[in-house]
């Protein structure tokens, strides 16, 4: 029998009302497709484990997501498991209602295959991609110097972490958006937080 974690119950209970039935359905489907699955909380979100990571789910303000850990090995071709109108984390894009969930038969089949991969000890090959260095904009360096503790924390970050922040700030099209993101980023940086800690871009 699977093992449920009371922290997952608590996560669902404090999620937005629209997300609760989605999370409950996904949880039920995972346990039905993989009776030996165990629950946990990973990176602040419900995770399902079976001889290694199997799947995970999460709820945000306006959408929920569900992801299969070895999605890359379950795809047909190079695209996502299902078409996405909007980019979102997870294997199935933004889920805003039960109607957005894939058919139960499809999820059962994917979870069964994911379970088999874990049983066989198959791991997802990680492709290392080299990315050109990105320079810290002068306006960001100036702001970092003015924020206590921010510059020291910035220098301690890895190049990939600094890149995440720079790209997030630079991609802001409107000045007010950039100013808001900069204020948020400075607070996070001063606290030593990495850019991807909260899993969603605002």
**pLDDT single digits (tens) 13-24:** 999 999 999 999
- Assess whether pLDDT exceeds 50 at residue 85: no
pLDDT at 130: 62
Supply the mean pLDDT for the chain: 86
pLDDT at 90: 83
Asked if residue 157 and residue 96 are part of one domain, the reply reads no
Last residue of a domain, one of 119, 146, 173: 119
pLDDT at 91: 87
For residue 127, tell me if it sits in a domain.
no
| Averaged pLDDT for residues 94-101 | 94
What is the distance, to the nearest Å, from the Cα of residue 4 to the centroid of all Cα atoms in its chain? Answer: 21
The count of domains in the chain is 2
The residue ranking higher by pLDDT, 193 or 55, is 55
pLDDT at 186: 93
For residue 184, tell me if it sits in a domain.
yes
| Averaged pLDDT for residues 89-99 | 90
Please tell me the pTM assigned to this model.
0.60
d(CA 124, CA 7): 28
- Assess whether pLDDT exceeds 70 at residue 46: yes
Task: Find the DSSP H helices in 16-103.
Answer: 19-33, 71-74
* Cβ(38)–Cβ(49) below 8 Å: yes
Asked if residue 105 and residue 34 are part of one domain, the reply reads yes
Asked if residue 115 and residue 15 are part of one domain, the reply reads yes
């Amino acid at each position: 029998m699977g093992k449920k974690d009371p922290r997952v119950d608590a996560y669902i209970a404090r999620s937005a009302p629209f997300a609760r039935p989605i999370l409950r359905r996904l949880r039920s489907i995972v346990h039905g497709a993989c009776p030996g699955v165990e629950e946990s909380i990973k990176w602040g979100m419900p995770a399902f484990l079976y001889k290694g990571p199997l799947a995970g789910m999460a709820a945000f303000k306006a959408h929920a997501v569900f992801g299969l850990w070895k999605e890359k090995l379950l795809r047909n071709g190079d695209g996502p498991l299902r078409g996405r109108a909007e980019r979102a984390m997870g294997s199935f894009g933004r889920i805003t209602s039960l109607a957005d969930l894939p058919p139960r038969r499809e999820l059962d089949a994917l979870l069964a295959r994911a379970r088999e991969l874990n049983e066989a000890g198959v791991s997802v090959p990680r492709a290392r991609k080299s990315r050109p260095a990105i320079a810290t904009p002068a306006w960001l360096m100036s702001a970092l110097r003015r924020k206590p503790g921010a510059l020291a924390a910035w220098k301690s970050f890895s190049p990939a972490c600094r890149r995440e922040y720079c790209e997030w700030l630079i991609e802001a099209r409107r000045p007010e958006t950039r100013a808001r993101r900069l204020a948020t980023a400075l607070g996070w940086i001063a606290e030593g937080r990495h850019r991807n800690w909260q899993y969603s871009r605002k």
